[in-house]
């Protein structure tokens, strides 16, 4: 039956906790019992203790650990993690983010639960995770997934939320950490002890310690295997439940396909091992390439993505070809060509043309109705905003770049974007960049590198013009490298928190990141 209230979600949580208690409590207690015997046997510690005393002591220890873990599985920890990633609530002025918010509302209705909180993590990696009543999705995933795929991902996370899986995972990580700590401590002690023995017996192996370490190592291994098995089961169940909510298995399959074909593995460095099992696909590897061997499956907290997709395709009566076709982003065929460095690039639709920041005043454009010159009249349907372009003094218009609100100069193509939206532009732009644009970027970045080598690694070397003035507050802007991949110098107003990208710079950054990624593919 579907839970309808927070109370029932709590009950589901306590069910997860009960299962844990039934599996891990005896496991940990027995391990501790064994450890007590080993300690008694080798060093005569707790010499007076018999079976019952040891059992009592070890169950007491597990109980304390359990309650500590329960107290530690707190929502605040997840919030802190999100804050450290600069995650934000969806930006409702951005249509794509609004879609995420709407999809969450839809899935909450499908599952008959109160709406969970949503956070968007501003990184290019494609992933999602849920913990307690918080669902978070990375910007890379939001940008690359279609509406129905977002729905499927949210439904999967909603299923975890309903079953209180994150609560389970939070507690279990504490148990495993406790065992690892014991292992670490005994390794350390064995080193100390070996030195002490040296004085007495003249060195040699501390066999007793080696046995204790091996014992703890085996316990650690078993705990991990047990946890991985339970976690894999949870993922399968969440996939099934997601299909129950959306009745659209193909969408979840293509979402998993896109997410696992992620070229940017950037999230690995953020997610601690304890948190990594919370994600929809493991954040540390390209999961379509992951091993299929017996051992890699045993230790994985997720079932092989290929298998998950296969199951969903069976449900949808579809095959891999259908899936690949669905996953390819369909580009609208436009009929505009634009001249760049003596070459005609295209075809673009008119909207795409307006989103290319390197298209500025004077650009030659070839359309069905002949050739014409680009000018501010193309932007006249947009709202004019106060201030003038810091680079050329041209008029500024409020437009959108793949649904992200930006301010664009009608003359030179430069754009102003709020600091918190800059990462979004890059994630969104990925699918817009054409092969020809990539070529231009490659040459441009090479030239920049040469300049930097001869002139010193300073933004001023690449762009020696005098500092720009912020169009909103009039103060001089700071010039800095946006990243150290393409060495693109951008201007930033620390007071208004706005970036200024010169015409074409945004595409350079996007294409540069894309190129670097493909090197590691």
Partner 1 sequence: MIILGIILGIIVLVILWYVATYNKFIRLRQQVKNAWAQIDVQLKRRHDLIPNLLESVKGYMQHERGTLEDVVKARAKAVSATTPEEAIEAEGELTRALRQLLMVVENYPNLKADQHVLELMEELRNTENQIAFARQAYNDTVMIFNASIKKIPDSIVASQMGLKEYPFWEIEEESDREVPRVQF
**CA 465 vs CA 391, 405, 462, 478, 479: distances in Å:** 10, 27, 9, 12, 10
Q: Is 148 in the site for partner 1 (CB under 8 A)?
A: yes
User: Minimum distance between the CB of residue 358 and partner 1, rounded to whole angstroms?
Assistant: 20
Identified binder of partner 1 from the candidate list 32, 69, 107, 506, rule CB under 8 A: 107
H-type alpha helices, 337-434: 350-355, 422-429
Q: Please measure the distance between the N-terminal and C-terminal CA atoms of the chain and give it in whole angstroms.
A: 45
Task: Rule CB under 8 A: say whether 99 interacts with partner 1.
Answer: yes
109 lies in the binding site for partner 1 (CB under 8 A) = yes
- When asked if residue 10 is in the footprint of partner 1 (CB under 8 A), the reply is no
Binding segment for partner 1 (CB under 8 A), chosen from 91-99, 127-135, 361-369, 437-445, is 91-99
Q: How far is the CB of 330 from partner 1 (least distance, A)?
A: 10
Sequence-distant (≥ 6) Cβ neighbours of residue 174 within 8 angstroms? 65, 68, 69, 72, 73
CA distances to 28, 59, 417 from 72, in Å: 18, 20, 39
Angle, alpha carbons 414-420-425 (nearest 5°): 50
Per DSSP, 478 falls in state: E
* Nearer Cβ to partner 1 (110/280): 110
Rounded Cα distance between 514 and 263, Å, is 9
Nearer CB in complex with partner 1: 136/254: 254
Instruction: Classify strands 343-348 and 336-340 as parallel, antiparallel or unpaired.
Output: antiparallel
For residue 428, give both structure tokens: 């969104």
The span of 123-131, 247-255, 269-277, 298-306 binding partner 1 (CB under 8 A) equals: 247-255
Instruction: Tell whether residue 4 is a contact of partner 1 (CB under 8 A).
Output: yes
CB proximity list for 321: less than 8 A, separation 6 or greater: none
Active-site choice (157, 235, 352, 505): 157
In the complex, what is the shortest distance from the CB of residue 50 to partner 1, in angstroms, rounded to a whole number?
43
Q: Count other C-beta atoms under 10 Å from residue 290's C-beta.
A: 19
Closest separation between CB of residue 210 and partner 1, Å? 58
Distance of CA 352 to the CA centre of its chain: 27
The yes or no reply on residue 351 touching partner 1 (CB under 8 A) is yes
Q: Of 251, 275, 309, 511, which lies in the binding site for partner 1, with binding defined by CB under 8 A?
A: 251
Pattern 398-437, binding to partner 1, x per CB under 8 A? Answer: --x--x----------------------------------
Four-residue CA torsion sign, 244, 140, 235, 321: positive
Which of 38, 39, 68, 102 is the binder for partner 1 (CB under 8 A)? 102
Shortest distance, position 176 Cβ to partner 1, whole Å: 37
Task: Give yes or no: 157 in active site.
Answer: yes
Q: Which of 14, 80, 112, 380 binds partner 1 (CB under 8 A)?
A: 112
DSSP string across 108-163: HHHTTSPPPEEEEE-SSS--EEEETTEEEEEHHHHHHS-HHHHHHHHHHHHHHHHH
| Residue 350 touching partner 1 (CB under 8 A) | yes
Find the part of the chain contacting partner 1 (CB under 8 A) among 109-117, 234-242, 360-368, 496-504.
109-117
Q: Shortest Cβ distance from residue 66 to partner 1 (Å)?
A: 30
* Strand 478-481 versus strand 395-401 pairing type: unpaired
**Residues contacting residue 295 through CB under 8 Å, at least 6 positions apart:** none
Determine the size of the site formed for partner 1 (CB under 8 A).
29
- Residue from 127, 248, 300, 448 that binds partner 1 (CB under 8 A)? 248
Stretch 17-46 residues interacting with partner 1 (CB under 8 A): none
Rg of the chain taking only CA atoms, in angstroms: 28
Stretch that binds partner 1, among 23-31, 116-124, 224-232, 346-354 (CB under 8 A): 346-354
Q: Contacts for 41-49 with beta carbons within 8 Å, 24 or more apart?
A: 42/208, 42/211, 42/212, 43/208
Length of the chain measured in residues: 521
194's tokens: 């070996």
Contact 91, 204 (CB under 8 A): no
Q: Which stretch binds partner 1 (CB under 8 A): 27-35, 110-118, 412-420, 445-453?
A: 110-118
For partner 1, the binding residue among 17, 87, 110, 171 (CB under 8 A) is 110
What is the rounded distance in angstroms from the CA atom of residue 169 to the CA atom of residue 185?
24
Determine if 115 is a binding residue for partner 1 (CB under 8 A): no
Please give the Cα distance from 509 to 521 (Å, whole number).
19
Q: Which is nearer to partner 1, 357 or 488 (CB)?
A: 357
| C-alpha 42, offset from chain centre | 48
Q: Does 106 bind partner 1 (CB under 8 A)?
A: yes
- The minimum distance between CB 147 and partner 1, in angstroms, equals 5
The whole-angstrom separation of Cα 135 and Cα 115 is: 10
Closest CA to 508 of 415, 397, 420: 415
445 near partner 1, rule: CB under 8 A: no
Q: Interface with partner 1 includes 252 (CB under 8 A)?
A: no
Q: Is 95 in the site for partner 1 (CB under 8 A)?
A: yes
* Residues 155-194 close enough to bind partner 1 by CB under 8 A: none
CB of 102 to partner 1, least distance (A): 4
Q: Does position 312 bind partner 1 by CB under 8 A?
A: no
Q: How far is the CB of 352 from partner 1 (least distance, A)?
A: 10
Q: Does 325 bind partner 1 (CB under 8 A)?
A: no
Question: Looking at the annotation, which residues are catalytic?
Answer: 157
Site residues (CB under 8 A) for partner 1? 1-2, 4, 95, 98-99, 102, 105-107, 109-112, 146-148, 151, 245-248, 251, 332, 349-351, 400, 403
């Amino acid at each position: 039956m579907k839970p309808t209230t927070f109370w029932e979600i709590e009950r589901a949580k306590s069910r997860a906790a009960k299962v844990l208690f039934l599996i891990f409590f005896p496991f940990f207690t027995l391990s501790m019992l064994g450890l007590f015997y080993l300690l008694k046997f080798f060093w005569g510690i707790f010499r007076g203790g018999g079976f019952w005393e040891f059992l009592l002591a070890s169950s007491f220890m597990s109980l304390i650990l359990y309650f500590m873990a329960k107290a530690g599985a707190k929502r605040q920890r997840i919030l802190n993690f999100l804050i450290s990633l600069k995650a934000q609530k969806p930006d409702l002025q951005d249509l794509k983010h609004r879609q995420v918010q709407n999809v969450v509302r839809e899935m909450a209705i499908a599952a008959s639960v109160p709406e969970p909180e949503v956070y968007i993590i501003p990184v290019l990696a494609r992933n999602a995770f849920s913990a307690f009543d918080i669902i978070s999705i990375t910007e890379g995933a939001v940008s690359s997934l279609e509406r129905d795929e977002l729905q499927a991902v949210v439904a999967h996370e909603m299923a975890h939320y309903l079953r209180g899986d994150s609560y389970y995972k939070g507690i279990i990580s504490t148990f495993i950490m406790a065992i690892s700590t014991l292992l670490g401590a005994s390794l350390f002690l064995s080193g100390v002890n070996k030195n002490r023995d040296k004085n007495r017996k003249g060195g040699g192996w501390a066999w007793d310690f080696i046995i204790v370490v091996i014992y703890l190592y085996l316990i650690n291994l078993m705990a991990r295997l047990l946890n991985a098995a339970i976690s894999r089961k949870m993922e399968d169940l969440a996939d099934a439940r997601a299909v129950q909510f959306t009745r659209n298995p193909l969408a979840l399959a293509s979402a998993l396909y896109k997410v696992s074909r992620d070229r940017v593995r950037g999230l690995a460095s953020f997610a601690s091992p304890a948190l990594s099992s919370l994600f929809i696909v493991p954040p540390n590897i390209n999961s379509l390439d992951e091993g299929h061997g017996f051992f890699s499956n045993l230790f994985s907290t997720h079932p092989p993505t290929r298998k998950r997709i296969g199951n969903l395709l069976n449900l949808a009566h579809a095959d891999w070809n259908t899936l690949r076709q669905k996953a390819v982003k369909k580009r609208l065929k436009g009929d505009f060509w634009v001249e760049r460095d003596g070459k005609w690039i295209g075809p673009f639709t008119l909207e795409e043309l307006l989103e290319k920041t390197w298209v500025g005043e004077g650009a030659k454009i070839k359309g069905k109705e002949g050739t014409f010159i680009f000018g501010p009249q193309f932007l006249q349907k947009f709202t004019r905003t106060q201030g003038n372009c810091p680079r050329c003094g041209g008029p500024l218009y409020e437009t959108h770049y793949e649904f992200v609100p930006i301010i664009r100069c009608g003359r030179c193509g430069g754009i102003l974007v709020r600091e918190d939206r800059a990462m979004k532009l890059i994630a969104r732009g990925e699918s817009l960049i054409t092969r020809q644009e990539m070529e231009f970027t490659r040459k441009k970045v090479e030239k920049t590198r040469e300049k930097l080598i001869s002139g010193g690694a300073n933004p001023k070397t690449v762009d020696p013009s005098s500092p720009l003035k912020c169009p909103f507050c009039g103060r001089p802007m700071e010039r800095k490298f946006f990243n150290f991949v393409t060495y693109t110098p951008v201007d930033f107003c620390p007071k208004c928190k706005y970036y200024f990208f010169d015409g074409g710079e945004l595409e350079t950054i996007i294409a540069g990141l894309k190129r670097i990624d493909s090197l590691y593919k």
